[in-house]
Amino acid sequence: MPDLTLLHTAEVHVETFRALAPEAALDQQVRPDWLERAQGGIDAGLRAEIAGAVAAADGPVLCTCTTLGPAAEDAGAIRIDWPMMQEAARTGGPVLMAYCLESTAGPSEALLRRAFGACEPELTCLELGRHWPLFEAGDSAGFAAAIAEDVAEALAAMDFACVVLAQASMAGAAELLRDQSRVPVLASPEIAARVLLAEHMGRA
């Protein structure tokens, strides 16, 4: 039985989680077609496929795609950004949330507000879609550097309590930003791996 089953929409996340959890038994499934199909909205067919993958898994399931997160959560999976949003709520606002895909903006904001509950996160959204072609081209270093540069510029212009990098694919920018700023920069893969594996190992 795997410690964790992961549903990805990009192959790059496989190595990310191997590095984050080298001791864990991970069942990593990659479905880039799901993200492509979800850009026009998640229809009943796609929702059923996601639910089927979650139901077939043995043990806890983590969905690493923000766009698919709500559908995966409905099927019983854990959304990769939920532990991150909870940490942001513990830190407090104002929050700078950076994202690239428009399809992630709504789910990410709704989840952040859920984590804050009755409190107002004082949210500022930073849309960075122009950098997404770098990720699609496999230029992970260039993508991370471009994200970090724009987020650093926003941090210089306004005061924030924390930064939320809404998509798992943006995590590479976190380390670059931490070298430049004292503002906490939250990336979902490392937080989710730490929290979920600790919970699973504790129950094992």
In 10 A of CB 35, how many CB atoms? 18
pLDDT (0 to 100) of residue 200: 57
Are 102 and 183 within one domain?
A: yes
Please state, as a whole number, how many other Cβ atoms lie within 10 Å of the Cβ of residue 199.
13
91/171 same-domain check: yes
**Domain membership of residue 199 as a residue range:** 4-79+191-203
Say how far residue 18 (Cα) sits from the centre of its chain. Answer: 16
Q: Binning pLDDT at 50, 70 and 90, where does residue 204 land?
A: very low
Q: Percent of the chain having pLDDT more than 90?
A: 73
- Residue 69 CA to residue 62 CA, distance in Å, equals 9
pLDDT given at position 197: 75
Residues 63 and 43 in one domain: yes
Claim to verify: residue 10 and residue 56 sit in the same structural domain? yes
pLDDT at position 24 is: 86
Residues 118 and 160 in one domain: yes
Same domain, 47 and 125: no
Mean pLDDT value across residues 34-49? 91
**One domain, residues 63 and 91:** no
Average pLDDT value for the chain: 92
- 73 with 100, same domain? no
Instruction: Report the pLDDT value the prediction gives residue 23, as an integer from 0 to 100.
Output: 86
Tell the residue number behind the tokens 């939920």, with chain if given. Answer: 82
Whose CA is closest to 192, among 44, 1, 7, 54? 7
Number of domains in the chain: 2
Domain shared by 66 and 87, yes or no: no
- Average pLDDT score over residue span 26-54: 93
Q: What is the mean pLDDT of residues 18-40?
A: 90
Per-residue confidence band for 75, with pLDDT thresholds at 50, 70 and 90: very high
Q: How high is the pLDDT of residue 3?
A: 84
Question: Count of CB atoms within 10 A of residue 13's CB?
Answer: 21
Tell me the three-class secondary structure of the chain, residue by residue: CCCEEEEECCCHHHHHHHHHCCCCCEEEEECHHHHHHHCCCCCHHHHHHHHHHHHHCCCCEEECCCCCHHHHHHCCCEECCHHHHHHHHHHCCCEEEEECCHHHHHHHHHHHHHHHCCCCCCEEEEECHHHHHHHHCCCHHHHHHHHHHHHHHHHHHCCCCEEEECCHHHCHHHHHHHCCCCCCEEEHHHHHHHHHHHHHHHHC
Q: How do residues 132-166 score in pLDDT, each as one tens digit?
A: 999 999 999 999 999 999 999 999 999 999 999 99
Q: How confident is residue 199, by pLDDT bands cut at 50, 70 and 90?
A: low
- Looking at residue 40, which CATH number applies to its domain? 3.40.50
Does residue 106 sit in the same domain as residue 22?
no
For 87, what's the count of Cα atoms within 13 Å in the CB-facing half-sphere? 21
Considering the domain architecture, whether residues 110 and 141 belong to the same structural domain is answered as: yes
Q: Which CATH number does the domain housing residue 147 bear?
A: 3.40.50.12500
Asked whether residue 119 falls in the same domain as residue 106, the answer is yes
Structure pTM? 0.85
